Structure 1
Amino acid sequence: MHTIDLAYVGRGIHEELIAYIADQEGYFQDEGVHVAVRDGIAWETERLRSCVTIGLGRSLLSRLTHGIEWTVLSVNTHRPLFWFLGGPGVSAMAELRGRRLAVHAGHTAPGCFARIVLRQHGLDPDRDLECVARAPGDYQMDLRRLRDGSIDAAYVGSTMAPEQVAEEEGFHVLAWVGDHFQIPTVGVAVDATRLQIDSPAVQAVVRANRRALRTMAERPDLAVDYVASFLDRLTRDEAQRHYERYVGPCYTADGRVDLDVAQRAVDAVAAELGVPSAPATQIYRHAR
């Protein structure tokens, strides 16, 4: 049996769901590969390069800024699961002007996406509001700070269901990133200078990932079970609605990339970072 490390670089169903399904359903074992799932959130990119990575956004940024030859072999979704969540006094994106927003740093993938969406709403992230950079986590401290008023809004990920939190806390869901900016963000990627793309272990991970995507598409009840296991504050009906809104219709069933979407996204990220863009065809492989 082959052995390989698979690293996630964020928490929540956006990053973890498909690998978790592949593991729990025995797909890695079926493919003859022992996968060690690693928490690479705090890792430097150099350490991450020795693993297969789930984080396609971070891979893209390091490819554009440092020339690391990340190659994407499977894409789970083109719609990032991040949301702008306003406190009691902020009910629309326009109301972020002059406010304090807790958000990922601009040099990270989620932070870069946030800046792109802010600009789409006519907000300069460097002048029109105060962006309070914080490290990614489960966003519980953001909720605490929204309650005490020390921040006015937060940019949160998929460790929570934003509608449920907003209803409980008297907050407001201002925008879902996936409605405003599409980019291949999670799946399977490797640094081609460190791991052979066509090696049996890498290809086994790709096949298991695609099988998990098919399972989620063909067995939505099972997929909802897995969503509910991550978001255990939700009732079954709430987990079903979350799946139907953000997961089922937004994840691919075969791991294929939409190259037109990918190219627009690469160009937008490069422009935000102030670096040259790159052809999407050199970054994203078509599924076989």
Structure 2
Amino acid sequence: MHTIDLAYVGRGPHEELVTYIADQQDFYADAGVHVALRDGSIWDPERLRRGAVIGLGRTLLSRLVGGIPWVALNVNTQQPQFWFLARPGLDSLADLAGKRLAVHPRHTGPGCFTRIMLRQAGLDPDRDVETIVRAPGDYGMDLRRLREGTIDAAVVGDTLVPEAVAAENGWRVLAFAGDLFQIPTVGVSVDPTYTDPEDPAVQAVVLAHRRALGVIRDEPDTTVRYLQAFLNGHTEEEVRAHYERFIAPSFGIDGQADLATAETAVKAVAAELGVPATFTAADFYRTRPTTA
């Protein structure tokens, strides 16, 4: 049996669900690979590049800024899974002008994508919005600050069900990021300097993840049961509604990237970072049928 280190660099179903399903359903074992899942959330790029990585947003930014030749071998979705949650009185992203917004750091995928979306709404993220930067993950402090009124809105990920939280507190979901900015994200990437993309262990992981994507698309009851493990602060009805609204329509099944969408996104990210796009989407997203 092959072995491989697989690091996640964010928390929540968007990052972990496919891996969790592949493990629980024994897809890794069926493919002949033992996966050591590692928390790489605070690892520096040099440590990350020694194994396979789930987060494509972070590796894309790392290639643009640091020149690390990451390649993506599998894509789960091109609709980033985070939301703008706001107190009453705000109805659109444009209404965030002059408001206090909790955001991810600008060097992260969600942070960079948020800045792009704010600009699309006609806002300069450095001048028109008062940003409160905090690390992604547990958004409990954001919810507390929203209740206290010390912030007006927050960009939150899927460690919670945003629509359920908004309904419970009388807040608004201003926007789903995946509706505003498309970029192939979350999957499997490697640095060919250290890991051959054709390595049998890598190909086995890709195969197992594509089987897990099939479960997400074709087995809603099974997927909702697994989602409940991540979203155990919500009812089954809330989790199922989240799956039906955001997971099922957003996640693909073949692991392939839409290169036209990806090319536009890579250029937008490079422009936001202030660096040249020295490679094409096809150079980064090398998704194709697995050889496993």
The TM-score normalised by the length of structure 1 is: 0.98
User: What is the identity, as a one-letter code, of the residue corresponding to 1:217?
Assistant: R
Deviation track 1:173-195 (CA, whole Å, cap 9, x = no partner) reads 11110000010110010011111
CA contact under 8 A between 2:88 and 2:171: conserved in structure 1? Answer: yes
Q: Which residues of 2 match residues 5-20 of structure 1 at below 5 A? A: 5-20=5-20
What's the counterpart of residue 195 of structure 1?
195
Q: Is the 8 A contact 1:89 1:152 kept in 2?
A: no
| Separation of aligned partners in 1, 2:216 and 2:106 | 32
Identity level (%): 60
Tell me the equivalent position of 2:288.
287
Q: Give the unaligned 5+ runs of structure 1.
A: none
Q: Which moved more, 1:213-222 or 1:46-55?
A: 213-222
Offset of residue 88 of structure 1: 3.4
Q: Which range is displaced more, 50-59 or 237-246?
A: 237-246
Worse-superposed segment, 274-283 or 91-100: 91-100
* Contiguous gaps of at least 5 residues in structure 2: none
The alignment partner of 1:144 has SS state of: helix
The Cα offsets for residues 126-163 of structure 1, whole Å up to 9 and x where unpaired, read as 11011111111211111011111111111100101111
Give the match for residue 182 of structure 2: 182
- Quick check: 1:223 aligned with 2:223? yes
* Corresponding residue of 1:84: 84
TM value normalised by structure 2: 0.96
SS of the residue aligned with 2:182? coil
Q: Which whole-Å deviations, capped at 9, do the CAs of 1:1-40 have from their partners, x for residues lacking one?
A: 1111111111111111100100111111111111011111
| Aligned-partner Cα distance in 1 for 2:185–2:160 | 18
| Contact 1:262–1:280, Cα closer than 8 Å, also in 2 | yes
Q: State the Cα deviation string for residues 252-271 of structure 1 (Å, max 9, x = none).
A: 11111111111111011011
Letter of the 1:34 partner, please give it: H
Which SS does the other structure have where 2:54 is aligned?
Answer: strand
Tell me the residue number matched to 2:32.
32
How far did residue 89 of structure 1 move? 4.2
1:34-183 map, 5 Å: 34-183=34-183
Q: For 1:54 and 1:260, locate their aligned partners in 2 and report how far apart those are by CA, in whole Å.
A: 22
Deviation (angstroms), 1:233: 2.3
Please list the CA deviations of residues 67-86 of structure 1 after superposition, one character each: whole Å capped at 9, or x if unmatched.
Answer: 11101000000000011111
Number of the residue aligned with 2:276:
276
Contact 2:12 2:137 in 1 (8 A): no
1:101 touches 1:154 (CA, 8 Å); kept in 2? Answer: yes
Which residue identity lines up with residue 48 of structure 1 in the other structure? L
Separation (CA, whole Å) in 2 of partners of 1:32 and 1:148: 51
